A and B are shown apart, each in its own frame.
Chain A
């Protein structure tokens, strides 16, 4: 049964990290092939090995249940990190959650319009990935994008400002909750699955330009059934593109449990001819290790990978969905209380004496204060001016517009000023 999960690992139990501790190297292969759990606090480190300094490296051993593989030799079950980084990851997850809670409140106060999809519970995915890649790498995702936008460098005020439809929002109030863009971040996309081949195209451009960057093309368990996901898989493998197709399996697509939408709900095997990795997406350390491994894999020219981050969304699909008609309150409560990514990392930080309870409280406070200040700043931002100039700007690259575009009546037609073409620098180039 186990060999079904990782057929090649049976015959080639090669580990990548030569420097892995002996215990890991000699660990029987069978043990590594356990079922991935969503235990957020399963990694191990010996207190004695944790250095005093915040930036001195030490190694964390990931749990045997951090990964499952498909046609892939397992990645190292270790993670090189520092105390400083662990604290930063903790801060980041707390900040993302705080920001999502602010969005939740603002929506309930009717200050956020339309759809608002929150990632509460899924923070470890956005945070862990960012800590495992470089700023020159690329991410594209669906509409559940606030955390990614923030991790890619979007300020909290610009993200909340966007939700509030403000001029200084991250998309100047034009995009809204689902459409946010930033350095190496290609949105924030509203059409389920459509971002997946687009992500393959970003990888194509990297390959074309001779760059060694990696692209993570994220999608949900529901989205995984879109035909174009499979089309993207085929092209990526055919052309050996440096892309990680990363499914955030939060168990539901809107109100449909994954087993009701997917003939094979083991999303990491969906690439068929693409090696796959299933990852405990509630453990930020496992997520980071997987992102690092994938980046190296792609940089080495080994082509695409299919990832499955097993995670869970605490709230409804969007703010208008109570999220309790298609799953039990017990299920939600169990995930919240026993698999929470923030609580999990906190436990480890305390256990390994990376930081004291007081220090963590101080980090909590700092994150909270920062987010609250930023939210207040966002609320103080102005709405866009309701002018023709603002309405019609940026439909085309400035200076390259047609002479005019039509309004609701001919009186409202908007004539563009003559000006030089100003192509914006693509965030990808930074």
Chain B
């Protein structure tokens, strides 16, 4: 029996994780921070302060621009208008027109231009007003940015950060509501992160800007205005979060909920509902990073809980949830006490009417109910 387990990829993974699923360790390249720092995610509550995700993103850009003159921001309305969602507020005043550049509405063009600037050694932050509009430019992101380093045999790097809000917002209809996590997450050559909290936002965006590869930062408009505690450590201008490292937002022994972005908050609420109603403890894992993905964290948790549930708000087919379940089946099958499940967005172009929109995306109640069902409560 032990022998058969060893044949399972999970066993291999747990035995020798670095060689089986090597994670691009960020320190290899720039390493401005000691590795130990990254692990200390919780700081003493004393020095912590509240910050919105919007301000955290803004601070991340400002700090990196301060540190490195090669970093600049280009996008629609990022300068004089202070950002369509005010994420770049104040950057033009602080860094001037040379480094905070208002682009015409020409996504394919300006995205290509920033990729070119990255090939030539600058470190652009290419802002899309939303990722829905990056569909106009996705060829540049994938064919020009993501593949070049490989195609050149490692001769040509492309240090660029693509960022902007992703996923649905409220009441904006089908063309303005799509989640692209799975699209970008499927591309070798890209790194993809999806911050949830203010610390996530700051740490991941700063890491993205410093990372020598093209990185896609999938933010969420509905999170921009939410406040989260920022630990003393996260307030430092050296705070970065490693890619490929999930965060256990809430420990638990009965169920593993793997989720990302806005759904993390929903899962935390659902977990509390499960606790108060049934007394079960769900472990909520905030992926933080879509590519690379922290398979190890998932396996460790599933090994403990025996139950796996993926929660995301994208389209279900070929999605992040599908990938998480496939990985669980590949690496943690033997630890499962029930089939892994997923809660996702519905397979519907986002409708405008509120009552229909509500039926299209996961709700806290739905997550809790489905979890209860999985646990046969």
| A interface residues, Cβ below 8 angstroms from B | 113-115, 162, 165-167, 171, 173-179, 189-194, 222-223, 225-227, 253-256, 260-262, 325-326, 383-384, 386, 388, 390-392, 395, 405-412
Contact = CB atoms under 8 A, between A and B. Distances in A.
A406 B105 contact: no
A115 B172 contact: yes
A409 B310 CA distance: 11
Contact of B80 (A190, A256, A407, A409): A256
Contacts of B102: 256, 260-261
Contact of A390 (B171, B174, B346, B356): B356
A191 B174 CA distance: 11
21 contacts: A113-B172, A114-B173, A114-B176, A165-B171, A173-B356, A174-B352, A174-B353, A176-B352, A179-B175, A179-B352, A225-B106, A225-B109, A226-B106, A227-B109, A256-B80, A261-B104, A384-B355, A405-B348, A408-B346, A409-B341, A410-B341
B80 A326 contact: yes
A420 to B, nearest CB: 23
Closest 8 CB pairs of A and B: A113-B171, A114-B171, A176-B352, A255-B81, A165-B353, A173-B353, A190-B175, A225-B104
Contacts of B354: 113, 165, 383
B180 interface: no
A409 B359 CA distance: 11
Contacts of A407: 346-347
B79 to A, nearest CB: 9
Nearest to A320: B84
Nearest to B370: A409
Contacts of B345: 408
B265 interface: no
A386 B359 contact: yes
A173 B81 contact: no
A114 B355 contact: no
Interface of B: 76-77, 80-81, 84, 102, 104-109, 132-133, 135-136, 169-176, 316-317, 341-349, 351-356, 358-362, 366, 370
Contacts of B370: 409, 411
A284 to B, nearest CB: 28
Contacts of A192: 105, 133
Contacts of B176: 114-115, 178, 190
Contacts of B346: 391, 405-408, 412
Contacts of B106: 225-227
Contacts of B171: 113-115, 165, 176
Contacts of A260: 80, 102
Contacts of B356: 173-174, 384, 386, 390-391
Nearest to A191: B175
Contacts of B109: 225, 227
A173 B353 CA distance: 5
A114 B351 contact: no
A408 B362 contact: yes
A256 B77 contact: yes
A179 B362 contact: no
Contact of B348 (A191, A261, A391): A391
B275 to A, nearest CB: 21
A367 B345 CA distance: 43
Nearest to A113: B171
Contacts of B355: 165, 383-384, 386
A114 B172 contact: yes
Nearest to B129: A254
A366 to B, nearest CB: 31
Nearest to B366: A408
B200 to A, nearest CB: 24
Contacts, number: 151
A173 B351 contact: yes
- Chain B interface helix/strand/loop/mixed: loop
B175 A113 contact: no
Contacts of A405: 346-348
A255 B172 CA distance: 20
A256 B81 contact: yes
A325 B355 CA distance: 35
Most buried by A among B104, B175, B342, B360: B104
A127 B105 CA distance: 27
Nearest to A179: B173
Nearest to B355: A386
Given A165-B352, A174-B351, A256-B76, 8 more contacts: A165-B353, A165-B354, A166-B353, A260-B80, A384-B353, A386-B356, A386-B358, A412-B346
A410 to B, nearest CB: 8
Contacts of B135: 191
Contacts of B362: 408
Nearest to B361: A408
B360 A406 contact: no
A391 B105 contact: no
A113 to B, nearest CB: 3
Contacts of B81: 254-256, 325-326
A384 B352 CA distance: 11
A189 B133 CA distance: 13
Given A114-B169, A260-B102, A175 B348 contact: no
Contact of A255 (B80, B169, B175, B359): B80
B128 to A, nearest CB: 12
Nearest to B369: A409
Contacts of A166: 353
Nearest to A387: B359
Contacts of A178: 173, 175-176
Contacts of A411: 370
Contacts of B80: 255-256, 260, 326
A408 B172 CA distance: 20
Contact of A392 (B105, B136, B348): B348
Nearest to A258: B104
Most buried by B among A166, A226, A388, A409: A409
A26 to B, nearest CB: 43
A408 B349 contact: no
Nearest to B81: A255
A407 B316 CA distance: 8
A253 B359 CA distance: 34
Nearest to A255: B81
Given A191-B136, A227-B109, A261-B104, A406 B172 contact: no
Contacts of B351: 173-174, 391
A395 B348 contact: yes
Most buried by A among B109, B170, B353, B361: B353
A77 B104 CA distance: 34
A260 to B, nearest CB: 6
Nearest to A194: B136
B172 A226 contact: no
